[in-house]
Every structure is written in C-alpha cells, then in structure tokens.
Structure 1
Amino acid sequence: MITLRSFFLAVTLIFSSQLVLVPVVVAKVKQEQSIISESQASRKAQKAVAGKVLKVELKGNVYRVKIYQDSGRVVYVKVDAITGKIRK
C-alpha cells in the first residue's frame, strides 16, 4: 500500500524533473529561432564571392553555400547560421 509520504515523494520527483527539462527546451527553441534564413546566408555569401548561388545547405550551425562564378569555377562559402559571419 502506498503511503502518503511515498506519494508526495513521487509527485515531487515528477515536478522537479520537469523543472530541469524546461530550461533546456526553452534554450533550444531560442537557438532555433535566432538562426539566419537561407536567403540571408546566400546574400552574405554573394557579398563575399560574386556569382550565382546554386545551393544552400544547413549543417549544424553552418550554412554551406555553393556559388557558380562567371569564370566557370564553383566555390563553397561557409556562413555561420547564428552570427551570419563568413567562415574560412
């Protein structure tokens, strides 16, 4: 038979585990909301390297922008998805 003390202990554990998980989920949502868009990443990459954007991929926190230059050369530019800065 469950005692009142065991019941309160179980309820306390359930609520305390939720309090630990909530900040983690909120931080992840804020991070996802603060990344720049694909179009912003492509514009920043085009400012760094002139040419036509062929493809934009998000891998982790970095956009990988594929650009076709007028010379016929294809280059990849990495753009930080959070700060928008060009990475080397």
Structure 2
Amino acid sequence: MAFGNLEGQIMGRDNLTPMQIAQHSLFTAREKLDLLHQLRADAAGAEAEGHAFGFASGEIDEAIAHVHRGVQDGVGTETAFKGDY
C-alpha cells in the first residue's frame, strides 16, 4: 500500500500528544481547542466501542485546561505568523 497503515500512523509515537497540541506555537487558541475537542470526541467514541485510543480523556482535558489558562493570560490568541493568509 502506498500510504501504509493509517491507523499505525495515527497511533505512532511521532504524532502530537494533547499537551503538545496545547503548547504548539503555530496554532491559535481556537484551533487548539477545536483539535482537542475533536480528539476528545474521537477518544470517547473509541472507548464506547471498547477500543484503546492512545490518550486518556484526563490527558486531553488537561490540555484543554492549559489552553484556557493561556487565553486568560493573553497567550495563543493569534498565530505566530500574522498576515500569511
């Protein structure tokens, strides 16, 4: 297969963890929260089907809280490169 095993790539160690997403400087706070909420929904779906997802829901919730604290402190409301779009 040209692209390999997609599930293996998703669950691989080279992917971002929830906290790495929360601390990533190229995402806005809104983008981080959108990604983390989607990740939490995917994790809940996997758990409901009895599958391991790779991240505990507490780890995702901690990352979401980290983004919220950053917004309260005025961090992460804009991308690192303004005007690129």
Alignment TM-score, normalising by the size of structure 1: 0.27
Greater share of strand residues, 1 or 2?
A: 1
Alignment TM-score, normalising by the size of structure 2: 0.28
Query: Whose RCO is larger (CA < 8 A, sep 6+)?
Result: 2
